[in-house]
Chains A and B, each alone.
Chain A
Amino acid sequence: MSGPILVVDNLRKSFGRNEVLKGISLSVREGEVIGLIGASGSGKSTFLRCINRLETPTAGTISFQGKVCGSSSAELNRLRREIGMVFQRFNLFPHLTALDNVTLGPRVVLGVDAATAEREGRELLERVFLGDKASSFPGELSGGQQQRVAIARALAMRPALLLFDEPTSALDPELVGEVLEVMRSLAAENRTMLVATHEMGFCREVAHRVCFLDAGRIAEQGTPAEIFENPKEARTREFLARVLAR
């Protein structure tokens, strides 16, 4: 592990009068896997969406790879190229096959030639155990398969940072495992990942660090052992008691 790839300083975000993020600071080192936990509405998703600027922060700075991001659309596009995102509801392009979903970004944004993009796309589909589904449309795939295609799509851009926005929350329970397995293998490759999730088991096992968000702030952070075995804050204990009792 080396120096920080992402430094977030006092990030705030309001929707109208509703302040969702009330000053979040976080530093992420290269190769680190961070689990973001917290109740619905605590600001996990908004935090991730601010990092790749799907939402425009109200205040605070975000530096990525040592540079503070501006707000010109060229800068935004460059930033997003480097940061991959996996959405809760997959957001695959329904008019394209699985393979085309994976190769579209490299071809259009990176200018990779079609043959190379296809070869790499097939490798990535193999990597998420979907080599045989290259020509299937999203509508023909199960939720778990779709989410794995979405992960392959994000990987195709060779991102320096991967954001996962509750990647298993929209899945039937029996399909969660196959997606987590892929994410586990990514962590094993030392990829830098920020994962908003309700999967406590996954956090405990894979994350290097866990942040507990509550009402727009990081209420507590630490190693999985610290957070899960010995939480300091009452709020953290309450939250964990609720989710682990399920």
Chain B
Amino acid sequence: MFGNRRFSARILTGLLLFTAQNAHADDRLAQVRARGVLRIATDATYPPFEFLEKEKVVGFDREIGDEIGKEIGVPARFISMEWSGVFASLETDKADLVMSGVTITDERKKGNAFSRPYFLSGQVIARRKGDRTISTPDDLLKNGRTVAVQQETTGQYAMEKRGMSKERVHRFDTLQDALLDTRNGKSDAAVGDQPALADMIRKGYPEMEIASNQPFVEEYLGIVARRDGRDLIAAVNQALERILVDGRYTRIYEKWMRTPMTGATLAKLESARSMGTPIPPEIEAMVAPGTQARSFAAPDQSVGGSALSIRTEVLRDALPLLLTGARLTLLLTLCTLLIGVPCGLMMALARLSGLVPLRMLATVYVEVVRGTPLLMQIYVLYFVLPALKISLPPFQAGLAALSLNSAAYVAEIFRAGIESIEVGQREAAHALGMNGMQTMRYVILPQTVRRVLPPLTNEAVALLKDSSLVSVVALSELMRVGKELATNAGAPTTIYLAVALLYLAMTLPLTSLVRFLENRWQPIRRGGDTR
């Protein structure tokens, strides 16, 4: 599963550990019950564990989570967000648990409380159908073969640990891409989590197969809570125990993994039960169980064609969701421009002002905002500000970060524009007796606006695309929806093509509007001096 999937996530978690307020020890369960909902954070781009179907999180984790909710006595609510925001949501109390196919590791246990293992996973090899020369990891080490993996996952580590040289391990952003690379013959095999690989192959890669369903590296997945949530983990453990024993686990497993549950797997899960965070007996005793059971519908999922083909049926299902995402992207961009452009203009005037403190303030602002990554700014506004008792909802946090950011860039555009106006214009205005404000308003700015229109358009188009970064705070804008659908429907080509066309559909009207305005204002171009 996700070994250490994103470097930034680790930095962020560290940052948040530093800023997070020290809540009272181990009373999370009471808080969950008081709130009446069990909030579970997940990155719903990982079938069969969690993915989106008709705007709802579905999958193995989802159903296990629902059962745990019933056992605890409060309904579970899944919140989908980028992987890099998942752990941060625990620290900032935006979620109670993480269920996102998380591998139990010693490093992660330092900062979080883990349940007992609830799933045995492992690394397997996917090869092109009939390529019998590859069936074990040792086969991959021979003959200069190459292997495709998802970067910073246990798959990559497993191959490197076996002595495979780095340049022969092709690292990709998603497992889907790794599989595609192998399918296209650029890598000899892909290595990844057994359930995820199996699901992807079934949905979109008829020309691929799993070499052996027996994993060559085993991994245990756990459910995560905050360090001070050991009482919640104790309740989760008790719930898991009952689910494992009374057959619900087996039904959910077989529904989503599409393989029979074996006694050996159950035995391994049982013997590894101490891998989770140890729970002191007094906390264990505090947690009282509730009961409830439920039956399941038969598995029902259709199998599609190749991942590379354009699949209209996928498109038909995906389009409404993509349009919802595009609407959010457009709304964010327009709101950001409405705030960022006036703010940027004021910032530019401040930078050109004669008042030294004002000028310095504006300069520092511009330099700091331009010099730090937008992603970091979004994190800070959404995840770190709550530590200062300022809690912004996702949309407002995303909008604030994008506006602050674009104001800095717009300020520089305006400043350059204002400075590009010939000094003679200012002199002519002064010679008429205009003061500084009048000169700015009637002479300098009207000319500046026309000059900065092209770079401003550039900024708007860049913003439209940069707005995809807000998906880390669980905003389902176009790119995020596209990513989710691409992994879930097993047709990345179709989905990404649709996403690209939707972005174009938004940027083209914008750029043609600007071209129209530029033509309208043509006389300015020839300037006041014909020589």
What is A's interface to B at a CB cutoff of 8 Å?
52, 54, 73, 77-78, 80-81, 83-85, 87, 89-95, 104-105, 108-109, 137-143, 146, 153-154, 157, 170
Contact = CB atoms under 8 A, between A and B. Distances in A.
A170 B529 CA distance: 9
Nearest to B445: A95
A89 B529 contact: yes
A77 B424 contact: no
What range describes how many residues of B lie at the interface? 20 to 34
A100 B141 CA distance: 79
A140 B431 contact: no
Contacts of B429: 93
Q: Looking at A81, A83, A139, which has the most chain B CB atoms within 10 Å of its CB?
A: A139
A143 B530 CA distance: 6
Contacts of B526: 94, 137, 139-140
A78 B435 CA distance: 10
B523 A54 contact: no
A80 B523 contact: no
A93 B528 contact: yes
B142 interface: no
B427 A54 contact: yes
Interface of B: 422, 424-425, 427-436, 438, 442-443, 446-447, 450, 521, 523-531
Contacts of B531: 143, 170
B431 A80 contact: yes
Nearest to B527: A94
B424 A139 contact: no
B432 A153 contact: yes
B527 A80 contact: no
26 contacts: A54-B427, A54-B431, A77-B434, A77-B435, A81-B433, A87-B424, A90-B529, A91-B427, A91-B428, A93-B443, A94-B447, A94-B523, A95-B446, A95-B450, A95-B521, A109-B433, A109-B434, A137-B523, A138-B527, A138-B528, A139-B523, A139-B528, A140-B523, A146-B530, A157-B433, A170-B529
A139 B432 contact: no
A156 to B, nearest CB: 9
A95 B434 contact: no
A81 B429 CA distance: 10
Given A92-B428, A93-B428, A157-B432, 20 more contacts: A73-B436, A77-B434, A84-B431, A87-B424, A87-B427, A87-B431, A91-B528, A94-B447, A94-B528, A95-B447, A95-B521, A95-B523, A95-B524, A104-B443, A105-B433, A109-B434, A137-B526, A139-B525, A139-B530, A141-B530
A165 B505 CA distance: 54
Contacts of B528: 90-94, 138-139, 146
A91 B424 contact: yes
A137 B430 CA distance: 21
A223 B438 CA distance: 41
Given A91-B424, A95-B447, A104 B432 contact: yes
